[in-house]
Structure 1
Amino acid sequence: MAQQHLDPTDPTAGAVTGDALAGYLRAQATEFLRALRLHRETGGGASNGSEESVDAARALRRSARRVSASLHTFRPLLDADWSEAIRPELAWLSGTLAMEHAYAARLERLLLALHRLSGATVLPGQAGGSDAGGVADVAGVASGSRSADATAGVAAGGRTGGGAAVPQKAAAPHTGPAAATATPERGNLTVGAAKAGALLERQLTLARTRAHSTALQALGSSRFHAVADTIAVLASEVPLTSAAATADLRPLAAAAEERLTDAVAALPLVTAGHPYNAEALIHGLSPDPAPHPQDAPWHQVRLLLRLHRYAREVLLGDDGPVDVRLLAAGQSLNRHRDASEAAAAAAQAARTPRIAPATAYALGVLHADQRHEVEAARFAFQQSWQMKTVGGPQRP
């Protein structure tokens, strides 16, 4: 039986003062400086950084996120001018360093999904050939549904001037005997999967290269050096207010938890219980390239969950228990973000002018598959959030 632990936001528990916040910020600043030194020592400025430099960049992002989150949650206890000046800079740095890894992971996710859906013996991106010849205004449609190990795509007509695939009607999931129709559809998918993979690889590899160059420029800029200097000062001196020494951190941490709870309560968890959300598919391949409107509240919950987790770290310290409920919820929301962004990348590729109908079809089925993953992640979050909060194993 899991051991019960005291809730750090419990008003009956002992007070946690500004000293805990100062210690946490100093520790994170020290980790930032250590990661920066490792990044420089391992050739982080090279065109293809080593595994150590990649780990160092990840550690930089991790420390920057935690410092920024703590400045946000506990800002009444910190010098206001200093806090408001450094928070946007930390957000800029973390976001800039994250993009290269995000593009690489997105490409890997999409190629593996194409491989699974088409039943190909090699990854689609490994096949050569360009997607020329096609039609200027591609008619493409795709909706897919998963039955056991396969996803069946259903085509419907539609044209746009820019070559985007626009579904006319979302298909219902195939289950039972109806799944037999997946065989000819899979044949159609296999035809376009190789070229779809090659198109995605070209687009996302180019985006990754640009992100790498942007990160290198950022790390060599005066803007970054100003951030590093500020963090170096933070490692030894935390600009707390005069009231922070005796102030209790728990009400501010409780406010962060309340914001998270309110945001979760506003989520359409009933819709998340359904295995197939046709509205999500219809929007995803529309000509409108704007972010998916259904996803924004979930992304916001992911950010609020992170703020809550980091506030708990401040209160509990390095030896605090891991909340397995928050851990599982966070993993589900990360999965949701990855699938959502992968679906958007597939939809964007489907809007490429003059691609062959088979390629557009494969990209549409891929988009539908990733929207299925989005729905599955929402359902997983719902299940984990309803778990009872119990203490997990101690931090290593």
Structure 2
Amino acid sequence: MAQQHLEPTDPLAQPVTGESLADHLRSQATEFLRALRQHRETGVGGGAPARARPGVGDSGPQESVGAARSLRRSARRISASLHTYRPLLDADWSEGMRPELAWLSGTLAAEHACAARLERLLTALHRLSGSATLPAQTAGTPGGAPPLPERGNLTVGAAKAGALLDRQLTLARTRAHSTALQALGSSRFHAVADKVAVLASEVPLTPAARDADLRTHATAAEERLYDAIAGLPLVTAGSPYNAEALIHGLSPDPAPHPQDGPWHQVRLLLRLHRYALEVLHGRGRDAPADVRLLTAGQALNRHRDASEAAAAAAHAARTPRIAPATAYALGVLHADQRHEVEAARFSFQQSWQKQTVSTS
């Protein structure tokens, strides 16, 4: 990787001590508690999300949606800091806290992910069928997801494929909604919230953390990211079409696509690196914006979304006793989303290598 030499006027030319980590964790804990209070004030009670009923994810009132998103965001940032800077924190406390925050963040994200996946797939079906625009959304559709297009605008196979995806992903979303509600009312969640409340005022730093330089740990996170990127097939990703990526296709094997794992890992490491920099720089308006990281992160998010959408199409195509026309439409949809995966990899490769050359 290209070494970047800090200028004498750079605020990071001097060591960044553990007190900055403590400030960051206190700030994120406060954000978590604020979001929790807002969610309790604006959220709804138990039960599954009916078509006209808001819920924990994006189906709720805008305030509740924002509160749930803020809860996830704060939980991710606290967990990331505990991972990157773990030598500077009480080991037992940190290792006990991290998996609980990951559980909470993942649980709260599941319903939104199902809704977004359904919208992505129905939009793609509409595009593949030749329809120029999406139909108007109806008030009874949860989460703002588009309703099924008029069947006159689609082939019979595409319409039935959309209906099948709607049933499967709506069911998955309903289950995720119920799981999230149960989680937020569980003793496990209350234990996490209690620990975060303590963190808002008392950060369990080690004695050595007060004089430690956080830049060392942030650099280690950056190096892990660069090592993972070095292992990606960027030469293959340098072509906008990778035929080998479609071989897995709609095989009977339901395992994740074998090429996707390393890219998902890079996405996680890039997020850890970005969050590590937030501890050093802060998150205020004056904090420097790294366009390269933002662009790379957006490409990897598109990669993740398309990969998971393709898997959902493949799963639907394995439904027993579906009509051949429906299976064909799902196969076309799967291939389309795998092409989107390749497009995201190509976008990442172009952006990352271009920026690498410019900073060398």
TM-score, L = length of structure 2: 0.87
Equivalence for 1:269: 234
SS, match of residue 289 in structure 2: strand
Task: State the partner residue of 1:307.
Answer: 272
Alignment partner, residue 357 of structure 1: 324
SS of the residue corresponding to residue 310 of structure 2 reads helix
- Per-residue CA deviation, residues 13-42 of structure 1 (Å, 9 max, x unaligned), is 200000000000000000000000000100
Encode CA deviations 1:276-329: one digit per residue, 9 max, x unaligned: 222221203110001111000000000000000000000011332010000000
**How far, CA to CA, are the matches of 2:321 and 2:150 in structure 1?**
18
CA distance in 1, matches of 2:127, 2:63: 31
SS at match of 1:283: coil
- Pick one of 67, 91, 94 that aligns with 2:102: 91
2:114 is aligned to: 103
Q: Is the 8 A contact 1:196 1:362 kept in 2?
A: yes
Structure 1 residues 253 and 70, CA, compared in 2 at 3 Å: closer, same or farther? same
Where does residue 93 of structure 2 map in the other structure?
82
Shift of 1:55: 1.0
Report the Cα distance in structure 1 between the residues aligned to 2:92 and 2:41, rounded to whole angstroms: 34
Query: Mapping of 1:153-164 within 5 angstroms?
Result: none
> For the Cα contact (< 8 Å) 1:323–1:389, is it kept in 2?
no
Tell me the secondary structure at the aligned position of residue 388 of structure 1: helix
As a proportion of its length, which structure holds more helix?
2
Aligned counterpart, 2:28 = 28
Structure (1/2) with the larger strand percentage: 1
**How many residues in Structure 1 have an aligned counterpart in Structure 2?**
328
Q: Distance in 2 between matches of 1:7 and 1:87?
A: 35
CA offsets per residue over residues 232-290 of structure 1, 9 Å max, x none? 00000000000000000011100000000000000001111222222221203110001
Give the aligned partner of residue 38 of structure 2: 38
CA contact (8 A) 2:122 2:148 kept: no
Contact persistence 1:120–1:190 (CA under 8 A):
no
Residues 100 and 7 of structure 1: CA distance in aligned 2, closer, same or farther (over 3 Å): farther
CA distance in 1, matches of 2:15, 2:149: 62
Q: Does 1:220 align with 2:231?
A: no
Distance 2:308 2:254 in 1: 12
Aligned counterparts, 1:102-251, within 5 A: 102-120=113-131, 126=148, 190-251=155-216
Question: RMSD value over aligned CA atoms?
Answer: 2.3
334, 353, 356: which one pairs with 1:386? 353
TM-score when scaled to structure 1? 0.79
Counterpart of 1:325 (choices 292, 299, 316) is: 292
- In structure 2, which of residues 67, 70, 73 is the aligned counterpart of residue 59 of structure 1? 70
Q: In percent, how many aligned pairs have the same letter?
A: 82
Q: What is the match of residue 57 of structure 2?
A: none
Between structure 1 and structure 2, the one with the greater Rg is 1
Aligned equivalent of 1:344: 311
Residues 389 and 54 of structure 1, relative CA distance in 2, 3 Å threshold: farther
> Which stretches of structure 1, 4 residues or longer, exceed 4 Å deviation after superposition?
4-8, 121-125
Equivalent residues of 2:18, 2:214 under 8 A apart: yes
Residue 108 of structure 2 aligns to which amino acid in structure 1?
L
Task: Report which stretch shifted further, 192-201 or 45-54.
Answer: 45-54
2:245 maps to 280
Q: 1:35 to 1:389 in 2, by over 3 A?
A: farther
Are the structure 2 counterparts of residues 55 and 5 from structure 1 closer, same or farther at C-alpha, using a change threshold of 3 Å? farther
